[in-house]
Structure 1
Amino acid sequence: MSADWIKQFPGLSRLEPRVQDVLTRKSTVIAVPEGTVIFGPGKSPENLLLLLQGRVRVQQVSEAGREIVLYRVEAGQSCVLTTACLLAHENYSAEGIAETNVRAVAIPRAVFDDLVSQSVTFRDFIFTAYSRRITDLFQIIEDIAFQRVDIRLAQRLIDLERGTGQIKATHQQMAAELGTAREVISRQLGEFQRRGWIRQSRGTIELVDLAGLERLAALDMEAAGSLATARPQASTHT
């Protein structure tokens, strides 16, 4: 297999030629159709996937059927959950679904184990990606616990719009994006439509006034700044 794909991952392009040769010889490029469930709870990872094209949604589903989107894997990234399961030799606790047609490099478990133990550069690549995504997951927890739903919804609509002006999603799917109830999302979207920020049709949310949504989304940063300014200094007295 050609080594050209390694250039899509800056951390891998710094690998020693010997290690790059191992990766290209023992890995394979796979194609996954849109809508495919790539992994799910209880399954054991056999490969680390590095995305070349497309997008994968990783989500958690509770026993009651409630969903929350944890993160998305884009081209040039790897899946931190897969990394964690490979390192710990555990099964998946969430599912990954191809949101688009996907092309990815599959690095077999045995190759992953060998390179993590033998190559400092490869190990740095793995743990750098891992630490960044863990930070993102902590941010999700903080948002769910402390941030207003309307602000989070505005932010997510802006993120998902991707320059098209609209989002193909049901209220239930948007609820999964934010880890809340469908009724809450329906109420907030109704308010956004009343304000003239969006227009709704079956399975589609059209962003009519992106600036209005951006102003609401920016309230989070402004509130954080105000809180920091107002917070009293800690006393130096004992």
Structure 2
Amino acid sequence: MGTDMTPVRDMRLLEVYPCLRDVRPEDWAEAKPEVRTFSIKSCLFQREEATFYGMLLLKGSVRISQIGQDGSKQVISKLNPGEICALLVLSGLSGRDYPAVIEAETEVEALFVSKLSFLRWVQEYESIRKTVFGTLLEGIMHMGEQLQARQTKSLDVRLAEKLLSSTSEQQPMLRMTHYELASEIGTAREVVSRTLQRFQRKGWVVTGRGFVRIICRTEFDELFGD
């Protein structure tokens, strides 16, 4: 992880988060903004960071996972540039600990600002508040769609859809462990491993340590695609 302490209230930032145009210069300076970069699969935000910072994603994509009492992770949402983690805002406003962990799906660049400043911005600036609650609404709708899918779609279909949506003809390989795939689709690692073995025996995929490659995309897509 690297850190660039240079203030970043520039056109690039405002293109990603136009709502920040409304922040007064004195409020921006008080927030002590800094940009941090993270490598793929690294942890960039959890309870410790949430004590001091608010975070805005500038580049890349991340997974937000809830940690179970047994230490297991369950992916509950994704975050892309221009979106604001609603869990971060809600936990901050309610005075509760941040209940999740944010991990990089790709190489990531994120803006960190003072937590107190971040929460004050949400309350004082309507444009930022709309962005936050727009993200929250979309997250609730997405979780509803995920729940419905788990109730109506078989595990084979859910896993195949994940593999298809995360790869392409040009990039047929997905670099994820069986455990990570299981947390994405809401099942156990052992179940994912057995299903991938079955897909491999049929000649649809090749699996290895930390990756799955689709080798027969046309037939796979015909069976499991939209």
Q: Determine if the TM-score, normalized by the shorter chain, exceeds 0.5.
A: yes
* Residue type of the alignment partner of 1:6: L
Query: Following TM superposition, by how much is the alpha carbon of 1:93 offset from its aligned partner in structure 2, in angstroms?
Result: 1.7
* Residue type of the alignment partner of 1:124: K
The match for 2:35 among 30, 41, 52 is 30
CA contact (8 A) 1:155 1:213 kept: no
For residues 119 and 42 of structure 1, the distance between their equivalents in structure 2, rounded to whole angstroms, comes to 26
1:126 aligns to 2:129 (yes or no): no
Give TM-score, length-normalised by structure 2.
0.81
* Residue type of the alignment partner of 1:48: G
Correspondence for 1:141: 147
CA contact (8 A) 2:83 2:131 kept: no
Cα RMSD, aligned residues only:
2.5
Correspondence for 2:3: none
199-208 vs 138-147, greater mean Cα deviation? 138-147
Change in Cα spacing, 1:22 to 1:218, as seen in structure 2 (3 Å) is: farther
Change in Cα spacing, 1:213 to 1:112, as seen in structure 2 (3 Å) is: same
Correspondence for 1:150: 156
Correspondence for 1:226: none
The match for 2:182 among 175, 200, 207 is 175
* Residue type of the alignment partner of 2:96: E
For residues 116 and 171 of structure 1, the distance between their equivalents in structure 2, rounded to whole angstroms, comes to 38
Give TM-score, length-normalised by structure 1.
0.77
Query: Following TM superposition, by how much is the alpha carbon of 1:209 offset from its aligned partner in structure 2, in angstroms?
Result: 2.1
Correspondence for 1:103: 109
Q: SS at the partner of 1:180?
A: coil
Change in Cα spacing, 1:129 to 1:166, as seen in structure 2 (3 Å) is: same
Correspondence for 1:186: 193
CA contact (8 A) 1:49 1:104 kept: yes
Query: Following TM superposition, by how much is the alpha carbon of 1:146 offset from its aligned partner in structure 2, in angstroms?
Result: 3.3
* Residue type of the alignment partner of 1:207: I
For residues 115 and 70 of structure 1, the distance between their equivalents in structure 2, rounded to whole angstroms, comes to 25
Query: Following TM superposition, by how much is the alpha carbon of 1:20 offset from its aligned partner in structure 2, in angstroms?
Result: 5.3
Query: Following TM superposition, by how much is the alpha carbon of 1:180 offset from its aligned partner in structure 2, in angstroms?
Result: 0.9
Query: Following TM superposition, by how much is the alpha carbon of 1:42 offset from its aligned partner in structure 2, in angstroms?
Result: 7.7
Query: Following TM superposition, by how much is the alpha carbon of 1:152 offset from its aligned partner in structure 2, in angstroms?
Result: 0.7
Change in Cα spacing, 1:213 to 1:9, as seen in structure 2 (3 Å) is: farther
Change in Cα spacing, 1:176 to 1:117, as seen in structure 2 (3 Å) is: closer
Query: Following TM superposition, by how much is the alpha carbon of 1:128 offset from its aligned partner in structure 2, in angstroms?
Result: 1.1
Q: What percentage of residue pairs aligned between the two structures are identical? A: 25
CA contact (8 A) 2:89 2:119 kept: no
* Residue type of the alignment partner of 1:3: D
String of CA shifts for 1:125-175, please: whole Å, max 9, x gaps. 221122112211222222233321111101111222265210122222221
Q: Which consecutive unaligned segments of at least 5 residues does structure 2 have? A: 1-6
Correspondence for 2:17: 9
Paired residue total: 215
Q: Which consecutive unaligned segments of at least 5 residues does structure 1 have? A: 220-238
For residues 189 and 118 of structure 1, the distance between their equivalents in structure 2, rounded to whole angstroms, comes to 50
